[in-house]
Amino acid sequence: MPKIAVTRWIPDKALDVLRTVGEVVVSPVDRPLTPEELREFVAGSSAVVSMLHDRVDGPVVDAAGDGLRVVANVAVGYDNVDVAALAGRGVVVTNTPGVLTEATADLTFGLLLAITRRLGEGERLVRAQRPWSFHLGFLLGSGLQGRTLGIVGPGQIGRAVAARAAAFGMRIVYSGRSRKPDFPGEFVPFEELLARADVVSLHCPLTEDTRHLIDATALQAMKPGAYLVNTTRGPVVDESALADALEAGEIAGAALDVFEAEPDVEPRLLGREDVVLTPHLGSATVETRTAMAVLAARNVVSVLAGAEPLTKVTP
């Protein structure tokens, strides 16, 4: 039976799918494997089910051996996988698009509401049992009706966020590599989006072009009262520059579900009341995480059976 290495726990439903075609070995440690541990763990594998924190590159494939046929990444993004290096070694790479769209869009809009309506501040105040009383100037936030949401990256998740924003009465502008004729909003250049949006929501993949896309220059181009929401990949935002911008009052606030060096966060963001922080919860529902793992497992089954995978990544 071919060995299938699973680098961290996945739901039993997905493990059952994998066991139909091979011997499944799950990492015994509940943490990201070090590069050395990962290379040792995948040795002799025909398939690897990887997580977004696993750096899967040429040395990992070499450590696995000539029998490795597929790496199934349990994520939409695959910036942690050197797709070109794996393709050059004849290894198929797959991801899990589609199944996490609604959950991530829900979380995005939850963060948007949390930062614009100051929900985190209010919750912390109550939990700390600090004295408060209702008055008309108490913890005033920003309404959404008639405001402009700028979506950077008009993919499936960006589209789902736009639908939610429209239901709240927001206007939509978007930017990306190309215009999407059926996208529910106005296509504008990135610089114009920054200047017009009351909320900027990031949904672009992490590439060399988008790394630190939101840097000091981009933050200075945003409205002084604007908010930033990031639920895509942490390195799209320069966290140090974001802290500088908040300290200088260049923007009103930020909500982040992802970080440059997870689980570490820029220390200056941690104590700020105008920042909402969540630990990469975009896809964190039972239904969604199970669907992601099952899709990854089905991709493994397809490749080991000699068929085309359902969601193949191409270099």
Q: Which residues are catalytic?
A: 233, 262, 280
Largest Cα–Cα separation, the chain: 69
The neighbour count for residue 224, using CB atoms within 10 Å, is 10
Q: In what side-by-side order are the strands of the sheet with 171-175?
A: 186-187, 171-175, 148-152, 199-202, 227-230, 253-256, 275-277
Smallest CA-to-CA distance from 312 within 68, 5, 302, 208 is with 302
Dist CA 69 CA 202 (whole Å): 33
Residue with tokens 């949401």: 149
Cis peptide before 263 (omega within 30 of 0): yes
Question: For residue 205, with 0-12 CB atoms within 10 Å meaning exposed, 13-18 middle and 19 or more buried, which class applies?
Answer: middle
3-state secondary structure of 240: helix
